[in-house]
Amino acid sequence: MAAVQSIRQKVVNRAAVAVVVLLTLVYLVPIYWITSTAFKPRSLATTVPPTVLFEPEVTAFIKLFTKRVQMIGKVNPEVYDKAPWWEKRIYDLGERIIKDSSGNSEPSAYPSRFLNSLIVAVSSTILAVAMGTLTAYGFSRFRMPGEQDWLFFILSTRMLPPVVVAIPMFLMYRAVGLVDTHVGLIILYTAFNLSFSVWLMKGFIDEIPKEYEEAALVDGYTRMEAFFRIVLPQSATGIAATAVFCFITAWNEYAFALMMTNRRAQTAPPYIPSQLGSGITDWTAIAAGTLLFLLPVAIFTFLLRRHLLRGVTFGAIRK
């Protein structure tokens, strides 16, 4: 009986593993498709049937970073020979890179949008995590009248639909000239991430034994010193995890960026789909831009894997 049971168990287990492997593969198809499209020649991006095997090339990335026009006639062979390898790829397509008067290639809008995303996400993350850590410590270690109500209030600000907040914020920003500025977006993202940061950090700080600080206080540290020298180093992991979550949220945010920026401070999320509208869609260039945009998120997800559960439940569930 026991042997039969275990054989049956083994079969069930094998089947489960097979299903998990299959499901994971199917799950990753869209991500594989973005990646492979970025390395395809344009002619193979939208074929019937879909192209799976092809010779990968980086032309899409060159197109992503440059401004180009269609060429009339052929390129001068002398110019072609002198051009760097990446420019030749563009000439091969029958296009040329637009240059300014001193002969430098004009960059496309992508690098500046990417930079905007970086500026806004990093600044708002630093602000939200710094304020959140202090507040979390305050709630974790001291009595506060109506503590639960305050914590609910803080969390509820996170749940507000972005569009609801964006309408009055747009009017206020317009009045003080913060529409389409980095500062404007940084404030919004900080406010959006702050509540998350407080809740997550409170979970981490609650786990640090109070005895450490009590010992430090007995040794003559002030409360401030105890916080900076004992609690902060102890919560380094928590701070890192919180920062990564805040960064990803700000990095991915679309609604606020769409409504509050249009050019100067526009981040990558509203910019990437806007390429769809202009002329014939070049999916390879869009895929290249998307892939670079996804790269930081993929790396961070890998680093965060142990803290994901905590992060998605605002620190309530710790495994």
Partner 1 sequence: MFSTLDSRSPAARRGLSDLSIRNLFIIPTIAFLIVFNIFPLIYSLGYSFTDFRASSNVPAAFVGLQNYRDLLADDHVWNNFSVTALYVLLSVGGQVLLGFGVALLLNRRIPFKGLFTTLLLVPMMMSPVVVGLFWQLLYSPSWGIINYALGLGDFAWLSDPDVALYAIAITDIWMWSPFVMLLCLAGLSAIPQHLYEAAAIDRAGRWFTFTRITLPLVAPLLLIAVIFRTMEAFKTFDLAFIMSSQETTELIAIRLYRLAFQEWQTGPSCALAYMVLIMVLAITNIYVKYLNRARDR
Identify residues 6-25 at the interface with partner 1 (CB under 8 A): 13, 16-17, 19-21, 23-24
Q: Which is nearer to partner 1, 74 or 319 (CB)?
A: 319
For partner 1, the binding residues in 148-177 under the rule CB under 8 A are 148, 150, 152-157, 159-172, 174
Q: In whole angstroms, what is the distance from residue 58 CA to residue 43 CA?
A: 14
- Shortest CA distance to 124 belongs to which of 273, 242, 259, 290? 242
Q: State how beta strands 95-97 and 68-70 pair.
A: antiparallel
Q: Which is nearer to partner 1, 96 or 137 (CB)?
A: 137
Regarding 49 and contact with partner 1 (CB under 8 A), the answer is yes
Measured from the CB of residue 3, what is the shortest distance to partner 1 in angstroms? 16
Regarding 228 and contact with partner 1 (CB under 8 A), the answer is no
For partner 1, the binding residues in 231-290 under the rule CB under 8 A are 248, 251-255, 259, 269-270, 272-273, 276, 283, 286-287, 290
Please provide residue 86's backbone torsions phi and psi, each rounded to the nearest 5 degrees.
-75, -30
Mark the segment that binds partner 1 (CB under 8 A) among 59-67, 86-94, 97-105, 130-138: 130-138
Among 74, 142, 145, 278, binds partner 1 (CB under 8 A): 142
- Shortest CA distance to 306 belongs to which of 237, 247, 259, 258? 237
Regarding 198 and contact with partner 1 (CB under 8 A), the answer is yes
- Shortest CA distance to 138 belongs to which of 197, 213, 198, 72? 198
Q: In whole angstroms, what is the distance from residue 119 CA to residue 126 CA?
A: 11
Q: Which is nearer to partner 1, 98 or 308 (CB)?
A: 308
- Shortest CA distance to 191 belongs to which of 228, 246, 232, 141? 246
